Structure 1
Amino acid sequence: MKTSGHLSLFSVTEVELIYRNKIRPEDRIIIRQAANAYDVLMDTWDRNKIELVEQFKILLLDQGNACLGIAEIATGGVSSCIVDPKVIFAIALKARATNIILAHNHPSERLCASPADIALTQKLCEAGKFMDIRVTDHLIVTPQRYYSFADEGLMPFL
């Protein structure tokens, strides 16, 4: 509200959260293992970028591990991308996710977790605890295969 060309002391921006899932609950894909998550991710990953630049995505899951959606978090360069935990958890909260699966590609197609990958996973697991959002896995993907942190015993942070 303006008064005499000045902003009122009580002018604020209203923030509204809206969530609509267009897929009926009974039609949502259940993620039972890393292979299911990989299939869902590969169905939506841009095949023109997977061997070119690193991208980071999350699968948003409900309590029964039904997939609520996929969100692209970041796109970077040939060997890295910057992942902001605030963006991940803002999206997860808005989608009402109780579980998330992290995923990123290695354009080099090397399927091994780097120290930076492990540190980020641990950081996101810890952050999720405060919001009751469980990070259940982290996949490194290539067009042909995947590496699952959970399958390889690298998810002791749960």
Structure 2
Amino acid sequence: METRINEIKLSYNPKLKAEDWPKITSSSLAAKVVFENWDRNTIAVYESFKILLLNNSNKVKGIYQISQGGITGTLVDLRLLFAVALKSLSVALILVHNHPSGTLRPSEADKSLTRKIKSAAEFLDIKILDHLILNPQGEYYSFADEGIL
């Protein structure tokens, strides 16, 4: 009797040419790119956590939503986050989440999660360039700019 197992395939299928990818040169540009691609109908309703996936030139390969939560929080599964980063062959990430309440101040949970992700990323040689918090008005808080990354 033949032993049968499932086949697992990993793929990344970019739709845009690399020369058309936006290059991130500042936290304000990263915030602009993410905010322009955020669903305006939900940014003030519930918290979501997304990642900007970057190549070695800090060009955006894509944005991936890791989780969608409730009014005051969302859970982030690091295994899923790094599966996406590795699958897309990204060398750097910018973490992003929104605060529907409008406040831009990071919570202790936000800071702890950032440290945990950054620590795990170091083992995989993936750089965490920033963690942005967006509010529904398009304002942002940058962990890197505030020196807490």
Q: Same fold (TM over 0.5)?
A: yes
After superposition, the C-alpha distances for 1:101-155 in whole angstroms (9 at most, x for unaligned) are: 0000001111101100000000000000111111110000013200000001111
Q: CA deviation at 1:88?
A: 0.6
RMSD: 0.9
> Is residue 115 of structure 2 the alignment partner of residue 147 of structure 1?
no
CA distance in 1, matches of 2:37, 2:75: 21
Q: 2:100 touches 2:136 (CA, 8 Å); kept in 1? A: no
Q: Secondary structure at the match of 2:96?
A: strand
1:15-42 per-position Cα deviation (integer Å, ceiling 9, x unaligned): 1111121111111100011111111111
Number of residues of Structure 1 aligned to a counterpart in Structure 2: 148
Q: Which amino acid aligns with 2:68?
A: T
> Which fold has the larger relative contact order, with Cα–Cα distance below 8 Å and residues 6 or more apart in sequence?
2
Q: Which segments of structure 1 move beyond 3 Å, counting only runs of 4 or more?
A: none
5+ unaligned residues in a row in structure 1: which ranges?
A: none
Query: d(CA) in 1 for partners of 2:119 and 2:86?
Result: 16
Distance 2:35 2:108 in 1: 25
Q: How high is the TM-score relative to the length of structure 1?
A: 0.91
**Normalising to structure 2: TM-score of the pair?**
0.96
